[in-house]
């Protein structure tokens, strides 16, 4: 049975266009003229920047700022003195040609990133580096890219993979679907496809061996099917499904501003999970009633040094301002053995998911923690920011985190810097120990937010990244449900709300149960907000 990921929901009916990236021609390894190669590389970097800027401009105008940022991260790479500097150094030290130097540095970095094959963010960074490297070599070798801008109408692109700059060149008025052999829900291909409203399935292994250019294909990324060369009756059936789906999508816009009130008068909110400032506008356009989770670790990645207090302050301030009086829950740094930062020099751990990560890392690195907390406190006067501590497993950890927060408040007061004294502070319930002792923890915080992704894997002792154990990773396991129910009831017994920001918050099979338990807020991806809101409204009105 074929397995794949429905990355962008919808139905697509069209003809296959096989996209196989043109293989780079061989190039000489060595040069006798180092200065000439250095000049060639400098000129190529300039041309490369202009090309990417032009693609980013088109994407910003036709798709959106968030998607353009994917391309702009490529420009950041070209401006990175370490990345480009290492290529120049290869030319100088080893007398390599520009092509060879680029190829070797990119291969080296790809190898480093491949060590973290369970980290989707780092996978995408490796894809970015490869994309930039390939573009540099193409320019150096005067090679053209395969055309993706002038395909016939109703084309379905089938490829092993699509790099960000390739996806950006797709004409969304002519391409109705994408199928790739690699990728994930968070891959650049998936993100771009959702933003461009192109139906997409990724991770379909060996699809290239099953179709040819010109084949008729139906993509059903609602129920997860790819039908090759269907008969007329099946095509007719899917045309009807497609029409119905598009009509339903249009209808969801009517509930953008609708409030959810249960029959017993409880207000339920649907908020957004975001990882960057650019995602705020997308969340708002989809009717987000707040930010239920702002993952701050992305501020620390893709750089060579720690973000300063000022840098962080500006980001938190802008998020708060854009959200107005809507709540913004900002999670403090959640990074550790499984997501390393090169400038932290973290010790490699045998079992990183049970190691020094999240709040444990912050408590061991108080200076890093305090920089972030001061930035959050300073930004609090610009909106409705709430601070959330991740991976809390003991009262000692929670008390230590609150003590450091108070120290930061005192430091700001001494410098006469404004902040909100009554800023809400909460914790994630993602370690079973926290759920078991939820009644005690609830006495010391202003809210809970259940992180189901980790709670499930820790409760069931199942690695959620291990495909061989996917049948055991079950959100509906009675033990998991018991811990969730315990956490929600403990919160309410102590007069505080309980939210959820894990994948389970968007699981239609779980939502009725969570509503029954009394969950106060469902925080999901921006793309899922309207569907989740609509499902909740239908559920409570039955």
Binding-site residues for Mg(2+) sit at 430, 454
Helix (H) or strand (E) holding 408: helix 395-414
Q: Show the tokens assigned to 160.
A: 């092993």
Cα→Cα distances 114→118, 124, 126, 427, Å: 9, 11, 8, 32
Per the CB < 8 A criterion, the answer to whether 495 and 243 are in contact is no
Rounded Cα distance, 485 and 479, in Å = 10
Per the CB < 8 A criterion, the answer to whether 455 and 502 are in contact is yes
Residue that has been written with the tokens 């010109």 in this structure: 214
The conformational region for residue 449 under phi > 0 = left, psi -120 to 50 = alpha, else beta, is beta
Rounded Cα distance, 66 and 522, in Å = 23
Rounded Cα distance, 196 and 504, in Å = 26
The helix-helix angle for 98-113 and 81-94 (nearest 10°) equals 130
Q: Show the tokens assigned to 198.
A: 């192109």
Residue set of the binding site for phosphoenolpyruvate: 295, 331, 453-454, 464
Q: Which long-range contacts (CB under 8 A, 24 or more apart) does 408-416 make?
A: 408/370, 408/373, 408/374, 408/377, 409/377, 411/370, 411/374, 412/374, 412/377, 412/378
Per the CB < 8 A criterion, the answer to whether 475 and 526 are in contact is no
DSSP state of 185: T
Q: Show the tokens assigned to 213.
A: 């250019």
Radius of gyration of the chain, Cα coordinates, nearest whole angstrom: 25
> Which residue in 6, 362, 498, 501 is the catalytic one?
501
Rounded Cα distance, 101 and 39, in Å = 14
Told to judge if 489 belongs to the known catalytic residues of this protein, a careful annotator would answer no
Residue set of the binding site: 295, 331, 430, 453-454, 464
> Which residue in 6, 188, 362, 408 is the catalytic one?
188
Rounded Cα distance, 165 and 135, in Å = 9
Per the CB < 8 A criterion, the answer to whether 325 and 382 are in contact is no
Determine how β-strand 199-202 pairs with β-strand 175-180. parallel
- For residues 85-119, one letter each, b for 16 or more C-beta atoms within 10 angstroms of the residue's C-beta and e for the rest, the string is eebbebbeeebbbbbbbbbbbbeebeeebeebeeb
Told to judge if 501 belongs to the known catalytic residues of this protein, a careful annotator would answer yes
DSSP state of 81: H
Catalytic residues: 188, 501
């Amino acid at each position: 049975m074929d397995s794949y990921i429905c990355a962008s929901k919808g139905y697509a009916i069209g003809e296959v266009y096989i996209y196989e990236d043109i293989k780079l021609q061989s190039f000489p390894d060595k040069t006798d003229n180092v200065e000439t190669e250095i000049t060639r590389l400098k000129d190529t970097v300039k041309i490369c920047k202009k090309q990417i800027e032009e693609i980013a401009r088109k994407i910003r105008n036709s798709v959106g700022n968030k998607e353009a940022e994917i391309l702009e991260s490529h420009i950041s790479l070209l401006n990175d003195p370490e990345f480009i500097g290492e290529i120049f150094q290869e030319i100088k030290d080893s007398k390599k040609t520009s092509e060879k130097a680029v190829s070797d540095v990119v291969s080296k970095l790809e190898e480093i990133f491949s060590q973290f094959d369970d980290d989707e963010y780092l996978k995408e960074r490796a894809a970015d580096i490869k994309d930039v490297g390939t573009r540099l070599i193409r320019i150096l070798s005067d090679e053209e890219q395969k055309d993706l801008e002038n395909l016939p109408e109703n084309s379905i692109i089938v490829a092993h993979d699509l790099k960000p700059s390739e996806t950006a060149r797709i004409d969304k008025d002519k391409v109705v679907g994408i199928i790739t052999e690699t990728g994930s829900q968070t891959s650049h291909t998936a993100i771009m496809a959702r933003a461009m409203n192109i139906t997409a399935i990724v991770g379909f292994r060996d699809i290239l061996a099953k179709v040819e250019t010109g084949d008729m294909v139906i993509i059903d990324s609602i129920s997860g099917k790819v039908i090759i060369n269907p008969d007329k009756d099946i095509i007719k059936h899917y045309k009807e499904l497609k029409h119905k789906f598009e009509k339903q999508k249009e209808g969801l816009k009517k509930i953008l501003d609708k409030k959810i009130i249960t029959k017993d008068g409880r207000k339920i909110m649907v908020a957004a999970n975001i990882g960057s400032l650019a995602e705020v506008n997308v969340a708002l356009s989809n009717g987000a009633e707040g930010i239920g989770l702002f993952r701050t670790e992305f501020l620390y990645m893709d750089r060579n040094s720690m973000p300063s207090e000022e840098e962080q302050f500006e980001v938190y301030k802008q998020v708060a301002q854009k959200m107005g009086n809507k709540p913004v829950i900002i999670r403090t740094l959640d990074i550790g053995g499984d997501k390393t930062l090169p400038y932290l020099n973290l010790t490699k751990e045998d079992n990183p998911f049970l190691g020094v990560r999240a709040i444990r890392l912050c408590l061991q690195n108080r200076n890093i923690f305090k920089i972030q907390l001061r930035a959050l406190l300073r930004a609090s006067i610009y909106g409705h920011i709430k601070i959330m501590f991740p991976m809390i497993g003991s009262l000692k950890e929670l008390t230590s985190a609150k003590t450091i927060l108070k120290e930061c408040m005192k430091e700001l007061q001494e410098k006469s810097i404004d902040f909100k004294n009554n800023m809400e502070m909460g914790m994630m319930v993602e370690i079973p120990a926290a759920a078991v002792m939820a009644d005690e923890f609830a006495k010391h915080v202003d809210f809970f937010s259940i992180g189901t992704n980790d709670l499930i894997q820790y409760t069931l002792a199942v690695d959620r990244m291990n495909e061989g154990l996917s049948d055991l990773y079950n959100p509906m396991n009675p033990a998991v449900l018991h811990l969730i129910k315990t956490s929600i009831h403990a919160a309410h017994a102590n007069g505080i709300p309980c939210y959820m920001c894990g994948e389970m918050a968007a699981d239609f099979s779980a939502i009725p149960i969570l509503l029954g338990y009394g969950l106060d807020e469902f925080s999901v991806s921006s793309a899922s907000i309207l569907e989740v809101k609509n499902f909740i409204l239908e559920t409570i009105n039955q």
